[in-house]
Amino acid sequence: MKTSFERPLNRPRVLLPLFLLGFVSITSIADGSDVTLDIPYATVNGHVLKLDLHLPAGKERPKLIVWVHGGAWRAGSKKDMPLGKLLEAGYAVASVDYRLSPQAPFPAQVHDIKGAIRFLRAKRTDYGFDSERIVIAGASAGGHLAALVGVTNGHHELEGNVGEHLDQSSDVQAIVSFYGMSNLTTILSQSTPHGLKVRVPALQLLLEGQPEEKPELARLASPVFHVDASDPPLLLIHGDQDPQAPINQSHELQGRYESVNRPCEFRVVHEGKHGGAEFFDDRRLELVKRFLAANEN
């Protein structure tokens, strides 16, 4: 199911002349920030993968956040980028598309995102952001993918070979997961009847089977089974009334982090469901800013 939220960049745009770089468009926003749309970062089996790069106004070498959209792995778009308030705070945000599960099953999604990170590092001088410490963030299925990418730095099977910049690192240095999944081997047993209606068909597409039918693949796709003492700091934000991604999914990931003494913050949105404007309001994004500032080194 597509993640529901209010888009923070819905202010009227000042339409300046449109510059074309191939099929890439650069648009200036009313607050002075720029968004470069539809930057191709790789081509896989004839499918062109693209990202949108949002750059803050008046900030030299801004730190970079890679945003991964949700949509039950089978829908959604990079257009849904709810981190406008972090853009206003001086962060650059690259919102990436990836192959959806009807196009390609797991681990294509992780391969694509890691390919996007390598591309961004290769193009850091062209676009002017700082790529030394990249943050990966996402919501719902995007939160699951962000966490999985984050805890598998250097994982051979999940690295893939997407894109032309295999000499670049796909490592990230911090993770933010909004109501994401962490253990595909337990999520169905934790789910409500409503949640099962969403997750059973979504997992069928992602894994080409159910977790009990594909146990090794389900483990490979589950962040909790990859956590070790080298993993980046993690921030989890989850609603305690989530009917689609049980809050126990974030509790499990928190527990794994604590077992290896890695930095992990868990913030509960009381009465929060699966998405909504409250997850991306001033209060929650201020939590994200504080987390990122505390883990810059």
Give the pLDDT band (50/70/90) at residue 21: very low
Q: Is the pLDDT of residue 10 over 60?
A: no
Residue 50's DSSP bridge partners are 40
Contacts of 189 (CB under 8 A, 6+ apart): none
pTM of the predicted model as reported, rounded to 2 decimal places = 0.90
Residue percentage of the chain with pLDDT more than 90: 87
Q: Where are the domains of the chain?
A: 19-294
pLDDT at residue 296 in the model: 84
Q: Is the pLDDT of residue 15 over 80?
A: no
Report how far residue 94's alpha carbon sits from residue 67's, in angstroms, rounded to the nearest whole number. Answer: 6
- Please give the C-alpha separations between residue 264 and each of 144, 183, 256, in angstroms, as whole numbers: 16, 17, 10
Q: Is the pLDDT of residue 7 over 80?
A: no
Tell me the pLDDT of the chain averaged across its residues. Answer: 90
Residues belonging to the chain: 297
Give the pLDDT band (50/70/90) at residue 25: low
For 167-199, the pLDDT digits (tens) are 999 999 999 999 999 999 999 999 999 899 999
Give the pLDDT band (50/70/90) at residue 31: low
Question: What average pLDDT does this structure show over 258-286?
Answer: 96
Ramachandran angles phi, psi of 128, nearest 5°: 85, 20
Instruction: Identify the residue with better confidence: 114 or 296.
Output: 114
Question: What average pLDDT does this structure show over 208-227?
Answer: 98
> 19-294: which CATH topology?
Rossmann fold (3.40.50)
Q: Is 139 helix (H, G, I), strand (E, B) or coil?
A: strand
pLDDT at residue 33 in the model: 75
pLDDT at residue 26 in the model: 53
